[in-house]
Structure 1
Amino acid sequence: MGNFDFVKDVFPNIVDDCARAESYISSDPLASCVYARRAIDNLVEYLYYDVLGLPQPYHDDLSGRIHNPDFMRHIDRMIISKLDIIRRNGNAAAHEDNPNISSQAALAIVRELFHVVIWAGYNMTAHYDKVPVAAQFDPALAKQSMALNPVQFKMLLRRTKQERDEHARAIAERDAKLAAKDSRMLQLQAELETLRAQIKAAQQANTVADAHDYHYKEGETRALLIDQLLAEQGWRLDEARDREYQVEGMPPTADNPSGIGYADYVLWGDDGLPLAVIEAKRTSVSPLVGQQQAKQYADCLERQYGQRPVIFTTNGYETQIWDDKSGYPPRDVQGFYKKEELQRLIERRKSRHALSNYPFDAKADLIAGRAYQKAAIRAVDEAFDRYQRDALLVMATGTGKTRVVISLVHQLMEAGWVKNVLFLADRTALVNQAANAFKNPQTGLGSSVPVVNLLSDSDKKASGRIYLSTYPTMMNLINARATDESAAGSVGSATVKPLKFGPGFFDLVIVDEAHRSVYAKYGFLFDYFDSLLVGLTATPRNEIDRNTYRLFHLEYDEHTGGVPTFAYDLDQAVRDGFLVPPKVLSVSTKFMDRGISYDELSPEEQAQWDSRDWDETGEIPDSVSANDVNRVLFNADTIDKVLGVLMQRGLKVNDGDTLGKTIIFARNQRHAEAIKSRFDLNWPEYHGTFARIITHATRNAQQLIDDFSDPANDPRIVISVDMLDTGVDVPEVVNLVFFKPVMSRTKYWQMLGRGTRLCSDLYGPGRDKTGFLVIDCCDNVEYFNQQLPESDGYVGRSISERICLARLALLETLDADGSDGSTGSGGLPSRLLEPFGGSAEDCAQYRAGLAIGLHAMVSGMDPDGNVLVRPHRKIIETAADAAWWQRLTREKAALAAGLAGLPSSVHIAEDGGNDAAAKRFDFYMYTYELAVLRAGAKRAGVEAGYGVAAPTMDVAAIKRIVQTDADALRNPKNLNLPDVAECADLIESIVDDDWWRDVTVPMLETARKRLRGIMKYAAGARRNVVFTDFEDEIIVERGAALVPGGDAADVDMKRLKEKATAFLKGLDNNIVLARVRMGRQLTELDLTELERMLIENGIGDQGAFDAAAEQSGGFGLFIRSLVGLEPAAVQAAFARFLDGSRYNARQIEFVNMIVRELTANGVMSAARLYEPPFSDISGSGPEELFHDERDVDDICAILDGVRLSAIPRPRRKQA
């Protein structure tokens, strides 16, 4: 009796190959693997064509069928992995010259074959009852056959090839005859349909759970998972001592009185000494279980060889490293180390010096010799000496953060702490700048330390010690393989090229401008590289969110804020004489302050207004708001006036003859071009080189930056859109023109930092730079002086991720009453049938569609091929089992939600995920379906806490969006399209409110499927950019003070707010309060009167209201936050955005959500536009929704205007 005897009842065509595969395990491992591969070749072909009826794949071979997305949708992910392992080893046995396949490896392969046939027989045939699901492969049952001689083995390979070719010809002939409607083949096709129906009926009747254990045992974990991870780091494991290495001196126990143990793996150095010991456990056990045992193995090896190995514990899914000899506790890692990396760890135990008292050499003094720079380095030194692995440096722009980290790297290298370093930044210019700084022979490390800029094509294949990259580039490189064949590892007989950048490659990672949004997008990099981590930021310490402190494992208190490793702010740097302070000149013109009214223009200007092409409809507006100036409308004289202020009031060099180096921050590319055009027209004597544009659209931008950095060269003025906010350090810069509103506090401080650097002899010998001028045209300085709260860096989910979560929530809701998704005719409890709104069969089909799609998406995730996916291997392999989706519990749903954003070869959208409008429509309809289902479930008494929360978007908003989009599809232009005309009746129904009354899930799902492909035709019209030349005038030109970031205390206002709110509700007829609610401009007298009333009525004292004003950004904003705004006032401010003829439904609903928030809270930061619930409509922010960036600028400007109306304006001096 053999292990595969049952196969004759389920897959008789492969029973002989299976039997031969197990019979040659010991005598002929190569033949065993070849027969195993023959078996799955025939099995997969049968399942692919006969059982599943799938179309021929692009590559019609075993690999092509296994990895075909349609096939993967039906086959458990773990089985796919097992099929691939059998395929690869079978290919190696058949085709490699000297395959190194042992009997142990052959046993593992045949055991995998056993799992595959068990699963396929139980899940893909009508004879599941013949399959011994409770059995496990028993080598003792395997029949033993004599090894094949060379001639017989060649005959086996030849026969295998012939049979494969015959199969291919037979399939081709069958397809040809089917196409020709051959009667015999049509009969065969009918027989196949009957077979599929029998299998389906049998599987539906199968109520017995699959009890087979498909998990890897400890030995299988080693052979099939851990070997792969080790091979990726160049370990060949081709010596007997590499596995099951005997050690002596283990603590004797009753089970092992001899004290002899066997370490699962020992990794050896070239000197014959142990570098690492690995303790492996089966996949179902935590790696922590083996920690003490691994330590005992390390103790034994240390006694035997005099060198303590690094300790790894793993179950194939999770891995921990424990370098206890170096003093570190165990920590999670994403894989193993290469030989040279382990060698470095061990050598470092003796060679590295304590950092806290390590002397600064002459080179360090030259790089970063200032006292505060040395203090920053010492703070990191002390943290690392305390075995902390993370540090955060908060240093004002211009204080030399880059120099500090260069000096730190120099010290860490000299002290024996690091060899390889990675510097990460978010912009190409910053990476290039840092690369040049590291290479500088005087203030950098020169040529003694090779520097590799990974953004440079010439450097990408180079090797070095310091690597620099942007975050996205490094994300793309972590899956890259090394090209050195000599470094290759192996799994069984297969050669595996190692990863170029493994988890242990870098000893130190430096993160430039570290904040939460960076971690939210690219946090995997910080988890992947097992290195020391140093973060840099210029954002003042009290304005860094708590999540950033937690990322660096630093102290954070809700009241007092965070404690960085070291901080040195702008104020202190100015006092110490290392930076220069800004002077602010606030400038505004009539048009920028009030907008442009047609009625106020001269007759000539009105004629010009009438001649402009305003939009696609030909409609001519009566006015342009202040928010549209320099965004939608570019007025020549407005730009001229601002440039005039710059040329007259800007700081000058060369004894006042030449404007100093200047950066103008423009709103967008069109704005930058308009500024450049007006400058050249007004100052032609500068020949077009004095002012230049540097944006991401500029060719050879780096050369222009280099020219600007040269004090003797033009340009003197650069006009930038985002690119130079953080990407250039030119000490000669003395003028900054803020010609755009800034909404990010981080960006604000970075922009100010462009002018803070010292510059000797700028105005002549002995006449140094003492300050710089900020010409602020958009009230940015006043805005950020308020110390208003800002976003914590929330990064919106992609639309695909939100769709996935919505489908998970739907499936979880359907299963909330305890259904396993497979019982009864509908597969749902009767209590959910009524909320669903359809028949039991409809319910079952709907649920099956959700489960199949989600299962397919998870099955398309490849832990072996993508390191982003690899940390989730355990849950992926579990969720890739179709049975796992038979009932989605709350706990399962929460686990699956963690996979929603991972890359997969299978798109959850029907069209492959390429139609953005269709995906948005999917999300809206799924969200509405979920609302209907959960509300109905609650009414039916199905109460459950859900693992996946419903989107925060309300169903009334979705209804309005869908109806408006459907209405747009009804216009004659769209109805002429065949696809739209076919759905005309459904479109008419959806526009009508009656359709939505008592709407059911099947109705919504039918509409989703029919309309999703035509939603791209519902887009609205775009507005045009307008250029004018109307006479403008300067109306505000005053100095202002800049308030640097401080450490304001966090005051609890809850009780005061409750009392004040209750009192103010009783003042409905108060004129001042009415002005607050209507959003009218408040005066000092208004606020004095309100404060007087509150104090006199015992609501609070002067100190309490002073604290409230400080916390809220002003007393007017505090009052506004309590009473809110009148809806009519807010709607009037956003009236243009509520025009359905100009904006589509999604855009209007987005604005309506702003209106609702302002109505409730009275004020709203622009940063909120990137957070829920706004991100539920537009996951990447308003820029995704409003393709014209001027719209986004306008919305932000309106929000700013609403806020400023609660802040009294300074009184004008009387003439």
Structure 2
Amino acid sequence: MEKGLRDKDGQLPGKTIIFARNIAHAELMAQLFSELYPQHGANFCRVIHSKYERAEELIDDFKSSDENSMRIAVSVDMLDTGIDVPECVNLVFAKPIKSKVKFWQMIGRGTRLCENLYGLGQHKTHFLIFDHWANFEYFDENPEEEDVKQAKSLLQKLFEARINLAQTALKKANMDVFDQTITLIHDDICLLPMESISVRDNWQVVETYKDLKRLNQFAPNTASDLLEKVAPLMQWRNIMGQSEAYKLDSELTTIQTLLLTDANQIDLAKQSVMNKVESLQMHLNEVRSKAPAIAQMQTEQYWQYLTHAALEQSRIDLRSIIHLRNKSVTPPTSDFVLDIKEDANQIHETDRLTKIVSIDYQIYRQEVEKTLTPLFETDSVLKKIRNGEPVTETDLAQLSSLVHTQNPSVDLNTLKEFFPESTATLDKILRTIVGMDKNAIEQSFTTFVQQIHTHVNAKQQRFIGMLKNHLIRHGSIEIAQLYDAPFTQIHDMGLDGVFSQQQADVIEQFIKQFDVQLGDKNQTVDKEVIV
């Protein structure tokens, strides 16, 4: 659920086959899944075995591309061979395999090509195998392991867009828009499935922001809490059959934000929405009942005198029918060329005034992360930073130049201005944003355990695994954090409750190398820009 390849919206795992040992094993896994993720309902993960009378119907349901069809099939021999499900992108080997022929046949369940799986022109290019029984080692196969970095889910993107809209409205003192947006954010939080284990682990922050009064105050730390702690939980909401509605919500939220920030961009942003509206199937009674709203949105007057309230009403009217459109109709596209001739007499030189703009840390951090992530595998300086290796000023200047080329709105040195009291170098600040490389962390901990010659029990292994995951994700850790959640999930006393005093002292000395002292953070910094 967390590491597997997801569907085109990033909200749910793609089609997945789990190869179980026997019926009892399969039914146990399906039962555990239901207990951990009850929000997805009974048909999301099903056992398929020949003893079931409806086995063939279940297979047909799994093969279906319908949004409400089965996503995870726990198979007992029935899907090992001879079944083609091109949409399948995750295979879980939950049993030992002794036949090499069968081993390759099972792998073949993921090799089927599937065009447009992730949208028009975005084909299936690879799939993942989770091998829990070392079958690859048994057959002397050593493929490269892949650490999948999940893209943000559809609902996380929508939630973040609404937070951005609320922040923008508050800065503009547009309290009507702010109040309406806060209500939507509150509704999103209240719809989180508290029975889901991942949401339950974060129940305190969720319950805190279910308080509408607290949300309306929108204190300086509220936005950061919502973006860092609540937004990622949106992936656990079940929106099967509703993805088109939430895509419309997201697109219209973007336009509502542009109304407050840059109305000139609305013409470009509205194209996707209008293509959908114009392709609605008007012969359907459900669509025809919304004819006034559809017609209004297609008038020039609607867009010429556009308001937040009009967009919100359109969103409410159309979200329930937006999926009822002719999706085979592709919007017309045409290349156009602007042939602009330069007239030397029209060139003027003048001094440009500057103005001071306020930059929000969370928004800027997200922009930095978005720019750096595609460079993880190609940029040598970024590799050094994620491996915890020292870098020079020349290295950082080279990286800053590359980033500015990729995204002119990002200047890495601006990050230091958010932490005026910190002595941390830029590479360490960047590490707290991009995290650390999994292989580097694994090697570092393996070397550490070998050096101290200490046997670790299951609880200690779990603690160390949690520590590794934290460093991979956050790039740094302070000793005090080892005595707080989530480490207190293993023992109330954190580090001291899991390890002896001597072991704890050794671990504290070891992790000091990962500590990045950032000091107090400025939520915003002011920058001078040319106008």
TM-score range, shorter chain: 0.3 to 0.5
Q: TM-score, normalised by structure 1?
A: 0.19
Higher relative contact order (CA 8 A, sep 6+): 2
TM-score, length basis structure 2: 0.40
